[in-house]
Amino acid sequence: MDKYIPDKNNEFNISEELKKLPHKPGVYLMHSDSEEILYVGKAVDLHNRVRQYFQKGHGHNGSQKIAKMVEQIEYFEYIITSSEMEALVLECNLIKEHHPRYNTMMRDDKGYPYIKITTYEDYPRVMYSHQMHRDKCKYFGPYTDGKAVHDIIELLRKLFKIRNCNRNLPKDIGKERPCLYHQINMCSGPCGGYISKEEYNKNISSVIAFLNGDTKDIISSLTEQMKQEASLMEFEKAAVTRDLIESIKHIMDKQRITDTEQDNRDIIAMARNDKDCVVSIFFVRNGQLLGRENHHMTIDETGDDDSSIITAFVKQYYSSTPYIPKEILSTIPVNEEEVITAFLSEKRGAKVHIIIPKRGDKKGLVSLAEDNASLVLAQDIERIKKKEKRTIGAAKEIADIVGIENATRLEAFDISNISGYNSVASMVVFENGSPKRNAYRKFRLKTVEGPNDYASMKEVLSRRFCDEKIGPFPDVLMMDGGKGQVNIAEMVLDSLGIDIPVCGMVKDDNHRTRGLYFNNKEVDFKKGSEAIHMVTALQDETHRFAITYHKLLRSKEQVHSILDDIEGIGPARRKALLLHFKDIEEIKAASLEELLQVKGMNKKSASAVYDFFH
């Protein structure tokens, strides 16, 4: 459709970029002209799926919401993965991180299932788990097919005779007869002493080997069984066995993006040509890929080899980022590795390893990053340059205004209240000109009563700069306001002996950002400045974050104040009521019988709730 093709002067021509999409699985991100992520989706075939959005009568399924979203797409990007399963897990992580407005969000925030082995027990069990916890158990997953997980657990119990009971073993051995599972040969009967602890744990070791991918012997055995059943014309049994084989193959599909060790690592890869170079960095946190960044590097055609470029990137990137993982995987050796590793370890407060993987899953992760870097270099280099001008270039403009070398980290604060009621403050962080949402902070005022923004700001800034857990200090402190707010901030910083430049973000009569207040005077932005757009975005985001938090507190207090007035309803029952009925209106409309179905409610408490509202 012609209306989806941007102006010819735009570096990103949608109709041309659609032709370049690879026939590979992956995740795609739709962006607006303001860099907002509108939608995140996954695809078995990126080429076919993304093209559907821009074909008249296809891909929208009659949805006005999707049609409206497509009208706002300025450009798209994508991340290729090695399987559809990886794409699904990555899609979930990106949606949770960015909350795109056109994605349907899960209210209960459920994740993907895991297979859990209670290895801390003398006689471990194999169980289905909705979440992975930091405990003494061993987890495999996450998987994307809950039914297949149940099938595999049932198969493992049949094959290796693993117990399925909650008995306290070995304490309860011999106290009761073994259950039905032992009688039908699905449990080895450790509760009756029919198997030694050593033999039982050999079976658990076989289960772990199976879940680690050693399934060849079992699949061969089941295939023979299926053929035998078919030759005996027992086709229903053969179909069940066939489905079981498919479940094993499906759930054993290698997920290189995730692991069960809850490791934190960055994966760095590079692609270059004669003039340009792109470094892609992937972020794995708690074993899951959360996202990536692409950085354009200025190179010298004659003098910069690959190791020099990667070394320069590692130095510059990790000197300004507040978080450093324990592992950094790279495709290319880093020069001065011993010195750089020592520097990173000191900054992290624990040992950091730079690894060049040669084989295995880590090599697969690095190869995936290399593929993505090559794609970005081939298709998106001009857009990256333009984006860096809007972000890093804008941050450099701010640094020039205040007379410092760089303004990598900016922090902005805002106060929100209604006549002093529930005064709250927000702290928003921009790094290299872009929002860093996991560094945002909320403050509920403790010492100030009434609508006193100056006193409120003094309390918030004092708390921020006295709490080391909040993160590194900003290069520039940005206040939502002019001279008054700047003076308060400077007074707090002086009292703490902290020297940080403070700027006020000044708005015009139409509430649009017009300049910065710095060194007792207003500084106008240069014509065509990218900084004004970044400061406007920072100011708007700070205000939005404070208002959102204030609304949340008001809504909570309204709900809690009503339920707290009911005799016999404490925190536990209040929580159970809200979980069961979702909101206060449903509680009001509930019958006595419905109230009795809530966990923890008895006839007296249910009657108290019903009588209160009726």
pLDDT tens for 295-318 read: 777 665 555 678 888 887 887 788
Tokens of 191: 């509760």
The pLDDT > 70 percentage for the chain reads 80
pLDDT at residue 233 in the model:
86
DSSP 332-386: SPPTTHHHHHHHHHHHHTS--EEE---SHHHHHHHHHHHHHHHHHHHHTHHHHHH
Q: What are the φ and ψ backbone dihedral angles of 407, each rounded to 5 degrees? A: -125, 60
Residue 258 has pLDDT above 50, yes or no: no
Residue 510 has pLDDT above 60, yes or no: yes
**Nearest-5° Cα angle at 550, 545 to 554:** 150
| Nearest Cα to Cα of residue 54 among 89, 13, 26, 107 | 13
Task: Output 482 or 108, whichever has higher pLDDT.
Answer: 482
Confidence band, pLDDT 50/70/90 cuts, at residue 3: very low
Q: Which residues pair with 416 in a beta bridge?
A: 424
Provide the whole-model pTM. Answer: 0.39
Collect contacts of 99-102 with beta carbons under 8 A, ≥24 apart. 100/30, 100/37, 100/38, 100/39, 100/40, 101/36, 101/38, 102/30, 102/38, 102/39, 102/65, 102/66, 102/69
Tokens of 273: 């040509």
Confidence band, pLDDT 50/70/90 cuts, at residue 411: very high
| Nearest Cα to Cα of residue 411 among 472, 469, 454 | 472
Q: Tell me if 364 sits within 8 A of 256, measured CB to CB.
A: yes
Residue 60 has pLDDT above 70, yes or no: no
Give the SS3 label for residue 140.
strand
Residue 254 has pLDDT above 50, yes or no: no
Confidence band, pLDDT 50/70/90 cuts, at residue 235: confident
**pLDDT tens column, 555-595:** 555 445 567 667 778 878 888 887 888 677 788 888 888 88
pLDDT at residue 298 in the model:
67
Residue 331 has pLDDT above 80, yes or no: yes
Residue 38 has pLDDT above 80, yes or no: yes
- Distance CA(436)–CA(90), nearest Å, equals 19
- Distance CA(3)–CA(7), nearest Å, equals 10
- What's the mean pLDDT in 281-285? 80
- What's the mean pLDDT in 400-426? 77
Q: Tell me if 283 sits within 8 A of 266, measured CB to CB.
A: yes
**Nearest-5° Cα angle at 152, 150 to 158:** 105
Give the SS3 label for residue 445.
coil
pLDDT at residue 420 in the model:
46
pLDDT at residue 240 in the model:
75
In sequence order, the 6+-apart residues with CB closer than 8 A to the CB of 431 are: 320, 321, 408, 409, 410, 439
**pLDDT tens column, 148-190:** 678 778 878 877 788 888 888 888 888 888 888 887 778 888 8
pLDDT at residue 385 in the model:
66
